[in-house]
Amino acid sequence: MFKSLWISIIFVIGLGLGTSAMAVEEHQHYSMHDLDKNLKKFKAAEDSKEAQAALQIMQQTVESYQKHLPSKLQKLKAEDAHVVAYQGLLKDLLKEIKKSRTAACC
């Protein structure tokens, strides 16, 4: 039950993040692909060890996004609405991944 709820939450936030970004650089495209691939691994995980491994990679990917904005967002000021929205979605996604990691370990 909790696993499906967390999957839904992560998917919705990830979808919002993907659709709200103005542009995605090539390396971030692969990272988004990794995020999607590990979400699928998380869904298919048969034990907590597999789920934790997928969530860890997802967490690292999102943390990388926080440090490296897409090129079009880098041209904007930090207080621009697009940058603020992008960073806010990343922060929300990271919170949900951390909650899922906590739930998957117990």
Residue pointed to by tokens 């709200």? 20
Give the pLDDT of residue 91: 93
Domains, the chain, ranges and CATH?
2-105 (1.20.120)
Burial class (CB in 10 A: 0-12, 13-18, 19+), 29: exposed
In this predicted structure, which of 16-30, 31-45, 47-61 has the lowest mean pLDDT? 16-30
Output the pTM of the full model: 0.68
48-87 pLDDT, tens digit per residue, is: 898 899 889 889 888 888 888 888 888 889 999 989 998 9
Rounded to an integer, what distance in angstroms lies between the CA atom of residue 37 and that of residue 76? Answer: 30
DSSP codes joined into one string, 50-78:
HHHHHHHHHHHHHHHHHHS--HHHHTS-T
